[in-house]
Amino acid sequence: MGLLLKVLIPLLGLGLAVYFYSGPGNFSEEEPCTGVRYRLCAALSSASPPEMLRGKRVIVTGASSGIGEQMAYHLARMGAHVLLTARTEAKLQKVVEKCLDLGAASARYVSGSMESTAFAEEVVKEAENIWGGLDMLILNHIGRSYFNFFNGDVDHVRKLMETNFLSYLAMTTSALPMLKESEGNIVVVSSISGKVASPFVAPYSATKFALEGFFSSLRHEFIIEKVNVSITLCILGYINTENAVRAVSHIIKKAPAPKEECAMEIIRSGALRQRELHYPASTVTPTLLLRDLAPEFLDGLVRNNMRVENIKRPPPARGSGH
Ligand SMILES: NC(=O)c1ccc[n+]([C@@H]2O[C@H](COP(=O)([O-])OP(=O)(O)OC[C@H]3O[C@@H](n4cnc5c(N)ncnc54)[C@H](OP(=O)(O)O)[C@@H]3O)[C@@H](O)[C@H]2O)c1
Ligand SMILES: *[C@@H]1O[C@H](CO)[C@@H](O)[C@H](O)[C@H]1NC(C)=O
Ligand SMILES: *[C@@H]1O[C@H](CO)[C@@H](O)[C@H](O)[C@H]1NC(C)=O
């Protein structure tokens, strides 16, 4: 019976995942709610997400590259106002220019590092100054880490917590008055590593698990206090951004999913006020089902999907104070 359940329930999950997510990959303004995949969209809203975003004021963090950059372009095509942020000014300038070409209602950037919560608050202040309000806050940036055995560097974990976790809280806190007024959306970009641990990402995984705990608790409080601001947690699998592919393509056996579609799914799930996004659903959803049903079996699968022999051991940890 137990074994039967262990097999049947993941299969059922897979079936459901396919039911909801298989369908045309298109998400055009002309055909907003076509196909099986848009069942949810059609059921939940008469307006399609692209139309829902027109004229909305959106902050995207980590927008100079990868998924954040692609989200900026989608939002621009949808006619949103975007405020982009990351550290590298030269890249942000280019992304802003392209957003304007693509039809953004307006596009601006603020450059700086999210290692400081003061900067995180400054970005929100900027939105308040230019727009006097905010509709969607997309928290997406991550600080640089390493893909290897934990090297014992506790300072690195502390810094990564500041960048990947505390800055998300700081931005949420300072944006909340504006988001309450607009009945807006908070979109938190997390990872399968924030739900199921895999080796070689201990510091990163810790920051992503922290996001789930914090934002899921906050979601309860919003409901209790009748704060109509949605919180969408995005659980992403392996995506083909330059940085991710460079870091892990020699270790991870499976092929990455496309960043353009990923970016669109994130915006859609936020606009539709969904609780969680699983992308790509075909791997994320079954993994999450197995997590509680057969954790050791899943751990084995996780390690099996890696070419562990390609990991080079790091030099011994440096002492603290560097
Ligand atoms: N790609 C994947 O396989 C994958 C899988 C699961 C989850 N995710 C999640 O998806 C999100 C985006 O990932 P991605 O692959 O698109 O990453 P990415 O291409 O490396 O982009 C990271 C962004 O964050 C910015 N950033 C880095 N350090 C920063 C700092 N200290 N302060 C402010 N901004 C900083 C980067 O710009 P600057 O360097 O200019 O600051 C860049 O714009 C992340 O939350 C990640 O955890 C990705
Ligand atoms: C998807 O887009 C492609 C090219 O953009 C088009 O040929 C195809 O008909 C579209 N499919 C649907 C279902 O809209
Ligand atoms: C919450 O806000 C959304 C978007 O404005 C709206 O559609 C929905 O009806 C609101 N829900 C409640 C309970 O007020």
Condensed to tens digits (0 to 9), the pLDDT of residues 166-181 reads: 999 999 999 999 999 9
Q: Which atom of ligand 1 is nearest to the CA of 143?
A: 28
pLDDT, one tens digit per residue, over 283-305 is 999 999 999 999 999 999 999 99
Is residue 122 one of the residues assigned to a domain? yes
Is residue 273 one of the residues assigned to a domain? yes
Is residue 38 one of the residues assigned to a domain? no
pTM over 0.95: no
CB 117 within 8 A of CB 165: no
d(CA 292, ligand 3 centre) in Å: 33
d(CA 112, ligand 1 centre) in Å: 14
CATH no. for residue 244? 3.40.50.720
Is residue 67 one of the residues assigned to a domain? yes
Which ligand has the minimum distance to the alpha carbon of residue 240? 1
d(CA 211, ligand 1 centre) in Å: 15
Q: How far apart are CA 193 and CA 204, in angstroms?
A: 8
Looking at the 3D structure of the chain, how many domains does it have?
1
Best CA proximity match to 236, nearest among 294, 282, 291 = 282
Burial readout 218-256 (b: 16 or more C-beta within 10 A, e: otherwise): bbeebeeeeeebbbbbbbbbbbbbeebeebbeebbeeeb
pLDDT, one tens digit per residue, over 75-114 is 999 999 999 999 999 999 999 999 999 999 999 999 999 9
Active site residue 204: yes
d(CA 24, ligand 2 centre) in Å: 8
Say if ligand 3 is within 6 A of residue 223 CB.
no
Say if ligand 3 is within 6 A of residue 181 CB.
no
Is residue 181 one of the residues assigned to a domain? yes
Is residue 126 one of the residues assigned to a domain? yes
Say if ligand 1 is within 6 A of residue 238 CB.
yes
The one catalytic residue in 73, 109, 168, 204 is 204
Is residue 272 one of the residues assigned to a domain? yes
Domain of 265, in residue numbers: 48-288
Is residue 143 one of the residues assigned to a domain? yes
Ligand 2: which residue has its CA nearest to atom 5? 26
